[in-house]
C-alpha cells in the first residue's frame, strides 16, 4: 500500500474533488452542465486512481464517498427509504475483467457469477412508491437520500402504471424516464415554430419536462419509462434480477427488451459491442451499458460503498470528438485561493451542443499536453457541454501560437502567488483579504452547499459584495429590508422574502454551519462527523489533533489544517460575532446504530466470508474496524488459527466473538425483536 502526504498529491485531490462537486451540482440540479459526461468520467477516474494509491488522503467529503447532487426548492422534498446510489464506471475490457475478479475475491468462495446487462439510458432516474398497488409518490433521485416530489408530473407518463396489475402489495420501484428520439425531434420542431429555445438533447428535454411546475405541460411531452430495479428485493419472492424483471413485467411495467443474462465476461463484451453497433438504430439514446450481479443473495453479500453498489458498474461508450481553436486562457481564483487555468475555445457545435470552455486544471497539465494559445485542438465529449482537450493538432501550427504563462500574481488582488511546496501543482493566493476568495466564500455560505438561504444566490451575493453591503459572513445577518429594496432589480417583496430567509437561517444544526464556512477539507460528511463528536463551536476551538484523529477518515493532513484554522485569531472572533447576531445551534441527537461505539479487530482465518466482507458488515452497521490491538478495541473476532491477538484480547478483557457469533450479530435486525 502506497502512503504519501506529498502536498502536490493533496492539492491535486482537493482540486479534483472541488471540480467534481461543482459539476455534480450543475448536472444534477441545474440541468446545465458545463463539461461533457466523458470529461467528467475522466476526472472521476483520476480521483479514484489517486485515492486508491494514497488511501490515507481519502476524506469523508470526497465525491467518491459520497454520492453527489442537491434539491431544487420549487418541489417538496421526499426522503428515499433506501438511498438511490450512483454507479462506478469502467471504460475498457481490462476494466471489466478487474471488476469480475474483484467481486470473486471479495466473495472468496464464489467461482462463477451470472450477470444481468442492460442498455444505459440517457434519461432521468426516478423512484415510484406504490401503496396497496396504487402509485402514491414519484420522486427524482436528487442527492441520493432526498429527492423532489414530482408525482403529478410522473402520472402523466403513460408507460408508468397508476395501479399495478395482479397485485395490491406495497412496492418501491426505480427506473429511467426518457424522451424517445422521434418525440424529441417533434418537440423541438414545435418549439422552433413558437420561437422558443430548443432543447440541446433528449436528456435535458426529459429532465426539463419533469421539472415543470404545471403537470399539463409535462403531459404534452411524449415521455416514456423503463423500470430497472426495486429498492428492496426482499419484498418479492424473486431471488434474482432475471426473476424480478419477469415479476415487474407481469404487474404492468415496461422492461427493456435488450436486457440480457451473461455468464462470462466474454458474453458481456460481445453484448457491449453489439449495443455500440445498434445504438444509432434505437428509438432512445444510450451512453453505455449497465452490468449487475444477477443474484440478490450475492448482491446482499457484496453490499455497497458510500456512493455506489459493489455489485454493479456502468460501462460507458467512447466520447464524441471535434476540433476547435484554443483562443485564450484565463485564471480563476477559488474560495480556497487556488488559481485554476480555464481554456476559452472558439465555440464549436458537437452533436447539437455548443461548447466554449475547458478547465485546464494546472500548469503541469498544460505542459504535459504542450498546449498553446492559438492551437487547433482535438476535444472530446460524450455528454452535454465543455469537453476535455485531448491534445493540440501540432501539424496545423503556424508559428504564431503563444505559450501559456502562469501568473506570478493573483489576477484579482495582485498578491504574489505561491506553491506550498516546489512539487505542488497548484498556485495559491494566500491573501486572506483577496476579494475573489471572500466573494466565493460568501457565495458558498449562502448557497446550496452552505446554509441555502433563499434569495441570496450567486448573482445577488455578487451584487451585495460589489455594493459593499456584505464584505464578510456576519454582514449577511446585519442586512435590513430597506438595504435590499433599494438595490437595482430588487423590490419590497423580494427584500422581505430574503430577510425572512436570513432570519430562518439563524437557527441551524452545527454541521450546517461548519459546512457553510467553507473550511478546507470539511464537506458534508466531515461536517457531520465533527458535529457528532463536538456539540458547539467552543468545543472545536479547544480540540486537539489527537481528538480529531480519533474520528474515522480524518487523516493527518485534515487534522493539521483544522487545528490551524481553529487556532487562528479570526476564528473565535467569527463565532462570537455570529453568536451576537443571534445564530443558534440546534441540539443534535446522535443516531445510535447496531454497532455504534464498538471497534472490531479480526484475527485468524474466516470460513464463510472474506475478511473484507466482514469488515464491510461492521462499517455498514456504523461500527469501526481496527488493524491493531489497542485499548479502543471493544470486540475481537477470532477465526481459525487465531494468533497472539486472541491472547492479548483475553488478557485485556476484550469481548471475544467466534465467526458464527459475529455473523449472527451483524445479521440482527432490531425490528424483528
Q: Which three cell numbers stand for residue 465?
A: 459584495
Fill in the DSSP letter of residue 317. Answer: P
Q: Are 215 and 152 in contact (CB under 8 A)?
A: yes
Distance of CA 570 to the CA centre of its chain: 32
Which residues are registered as beta bridge partners of 116? 261, 292
Which residues on adjacent β-strands are paired with residue 312? Answer: 292
Other residues' Cβ atoms within 10 Å of the Cβ of residue 464: 23
- Pair 58, 553: CB distance under 8 Å: yes
Contact 221, 178 (CB under 8 A): no
Between CA 358 and CA 355 the distance in angstroms is: 9
Helices assigned H by DSSP within 195-321: 202-210, 215-219, 241-250, 265-278, 296-302
Q: Report the side by side order of strands in the sheet with 260-262.
A: 88-90, 312-316, 286-293, 115-121, 260-262
Q: For residue 153, give the nearest of 140, 165, 170 by alpha carbon.
A: 140
Cell (9 digits) for 191: 418549439
Among the options 18, 120, 292, 645, which is catalytic? 120
- In this structure, are residues 358 and 343 in contact, taking their beta carbons and an 8 Å threshold? yes
Alpha carbons 71 and 134: distance in angstroms, whole number: 26
Please tell me the distance from the alpha carbon of residue 591 to that of residue 554, in angstroms, as a whole number.
Answer: 20
SS3 20: helix
For 151-285, list the strands marked E by DSSP: 171-178, 224-230, 260-262
> Taking the alpha carbons of 453, 457, 460, 466 in that order, is the dihedral positive or negative?
positive
Helix 202-210, helix 181-193: angle, nearest 10? 70
Phi-psi region of 424 (alpha: psi -120 to 50; beta: other; left: phi over 0): beta
Strands 338-350 and 320-333: antiparallel
Which DSSP symbol is given to 669? Answer: -
Ranges assigned E (strand) in 352-397: 353-359, 372-373, 376-381, 388-392
List of residues 6+ apart from 183 with CB closer than 8 A: 221, 222, 223, 224
Q: Pick from 618, 619, 662, 617: which is nearest to 639 by CA?
A: 662
Measured N-to-C along each axis, helices 611-620 and 93-107 cross at an angle, to the nearest 10 degrees, of: 80
Is 49 marked active-site? no
- Cα–Cα distance between 116 and 227 in angstroms, integer? 14
Q: Quote the CA–CA distance of 36 and 353 in Å, as a whole number.
A: 10
Beta carbons within 10 angstroms of residue 468's beta carbon: 8
The Cα–Cα gap between 57 and 553 comes to 9
Distance CA 352, CA 17 (A): 29
Q: Are 231 and 189 in contact (CB under 8 A)?
A: no
**Rounded Cα distance, 217 and 156, in Å:** 10
Q: What whole-number distance in Å separates Cα of residue 46 and Cα of residue 68? A: 17
Active centre residues (catalytic): 120
Amino acid at each position: 500500500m502506497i502512503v504519501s502526504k506529498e502536498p502536490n498529491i493533496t492539492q491535486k485531490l482537493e482540486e479534483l474533488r472541488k471540480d467534481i462537486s461543482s459539476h455534480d451540482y450543475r448536472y444534477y440540479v441545474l440541468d446545465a452542465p458545463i463539461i461533457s459526461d466523458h470529461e467528467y468520467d475522466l476526472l472521476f477516474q483520476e480521483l479514484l486512481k489517486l485515492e486508491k494509491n494514497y488511501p490515507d488522503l481519502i476524506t469523508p467529503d470526497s465525491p467518491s464517498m459520497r454520492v453527489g447532487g442537491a434539491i431544487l426548492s420549487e418541489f417538496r422534498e421526499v426522503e428515499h427509504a433506501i438511498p438511490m446510489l450512483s454507479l462506478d464506471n469502467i471504460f475498457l475490457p481490462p476494466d471489466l475483467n478487474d471488476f469480475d475478479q474483484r467481486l470473486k475475491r471479495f466473495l472468496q468462495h464464489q467461482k462463477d457469477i451470472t450477470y444481468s446487462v442492460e442498455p444505459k439510458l440517457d434519461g432521468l432516474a426516478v423512484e415510484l412508491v406504490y401503496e396497496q398497488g396504487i402509485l402514491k409518490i414519484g420522486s427524482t433521485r436528487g442527492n441520493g437520500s432526498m429527492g423532489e416530489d414530482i408525482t403529478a408530473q410522473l402520472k402523466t407518463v403513460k408507460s408508468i402504471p397508476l395501479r399495478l396489475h395482479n397485485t395490491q402489495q406495497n412496492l418501491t420501484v426505480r427506473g429511467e424516464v426518457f424522451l424517445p428520439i422521434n418525440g424529441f425531434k417533434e418537440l423541438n420542431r414545435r418549439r422552433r415554430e413558437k420561437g422558443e429555445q430548443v432543447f440541446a438533447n433528449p436528456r435535458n428535454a426529459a429532465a426539463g419536462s419533469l421539472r415543470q411546475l404545471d403537470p399539463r405541460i409535462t403531459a404534452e411531452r411524449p415521455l416514456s419509462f423503463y423500470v430497472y430495479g426495486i429498492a428492496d428485493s426482499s419484498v418479492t419472492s424473486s431471488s434474482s434480477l432475471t426473476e424480478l424483471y419477469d415479476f415487474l413485467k407481469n404487474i404492468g411495467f415496461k422492461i427493456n427488451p435488450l436486457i440480457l443474462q451473461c455468464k462470462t465476461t466474454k458474453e458481456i463484451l460481445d453484448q457491449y459491442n453489439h449495443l455500440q453497433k445498434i445504438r444509432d438504430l434505437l428509438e432512445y439514446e444510450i451512453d453505455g451499458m449497465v452490468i449487475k450481479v444477477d443474484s440478490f443473495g450475492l448482491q446482499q453479500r457484496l453490499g455497497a460503498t458510500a456512493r455506489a453498489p459493489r455489485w454493479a458498474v456502468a460501462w460507458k461508450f467512447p466520447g464524441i470528438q471535434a476540433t476547435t481553436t484554443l483562443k485564450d486562457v484565463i485564471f480563476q481564483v477559488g474560495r480556497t485561493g487556488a488559481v485554476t487555468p480555464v481554456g476559452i475555445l472558439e465555440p464549436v457545435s458537437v452533436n447539437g451542443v455548443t461548447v466554449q470552455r475547458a478547465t485546464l486544471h494546472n500548469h503541469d497539465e498544460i505542459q504535459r499536453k504542450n498546449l498553446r494559445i492559438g492551437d487547433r485542438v482535438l476535444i472530446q465529449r460524450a455528454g452535454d457541454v465543455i469537453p476535455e482537450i485531448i491534445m493540440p493538432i501540432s501539424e496545423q501550427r503556424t508559428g504564431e501560437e503563444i505559450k501559456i504563462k502562469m501568473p506570478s500574481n493573483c489576477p484579482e488582488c495582485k498578491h504574489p502567488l505561491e506553491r506550498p511546496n516546489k512539487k505542488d501543482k497548484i498556485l495559491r493566493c494566500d491573501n486572506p483579504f483577496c476579494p475573489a476568495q471572500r466573494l466565493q466564500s460568501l457565495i458558498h455560505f449562502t448557497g446550496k452547499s452552505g446554509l441555502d438561504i433563499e434569495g441570496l444566490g450567486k448573482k445577488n451575493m455578487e451584487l451585495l459584495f460589489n455594493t459593499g453591503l456584505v464584505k464578510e459572513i456576519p454582514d449577511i445577518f446585519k442586512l435590513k429590508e430597506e438595504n435590499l429594496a433599494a438595490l437595482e432589480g430588487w423590490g419590497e417583496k423580494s427584500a422581505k422574502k430574503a430577510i425572512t430567509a436570513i432570519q430562518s437561517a439563524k437557527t441551524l444544526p452545527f454541521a450546517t454551519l461548519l459546512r457553510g464556512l467553507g473550511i478546507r477539507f470539511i464537506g458534508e460528511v466531515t461536517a457531520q462527523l465533527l458535529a457528532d463528536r463536538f456539540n458547539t463551536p467552543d468545543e472545536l476551538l479547544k480540540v486537539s489533533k489527537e481528538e480529531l484523529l480519533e474520528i474515522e477518515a480524518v487523516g493527518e493532513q485534515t487534522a493539521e489544517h483544522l487545528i490551524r484554522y481553529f487556532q487562528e485569531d479570526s476564528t473565535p472572533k467569527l463565532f462570537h460575532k455570529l453568536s451576537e447576531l443571534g445564530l443558534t445551534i440546534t441540539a443534535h441527537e446522535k443516531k445510535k446504530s447496531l454497532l455504534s461505539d464498538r471497534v472490531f479487530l479480526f484475527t485468524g482465518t474466516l470460513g464463510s466470508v472474506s475478511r473484507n466482507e466482514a469488515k464491510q458488515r461492521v462499517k455498514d452497521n456504523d461500527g469501526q474496524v481496527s488493524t491493531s490491538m489497542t485499548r479502543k478495541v471493544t470486540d475481537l473476532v477470532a477465526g481459525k488459527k487465531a494468533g497472539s491477538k486472541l491472547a492479548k484480547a483475553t488478557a485485556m478483557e476484550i469481548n471475544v466473538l467466534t465467526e458464527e457469533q459475529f455473523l449472527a450479530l451483524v445479521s440482527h435486525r432490531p425490528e424483528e425483536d
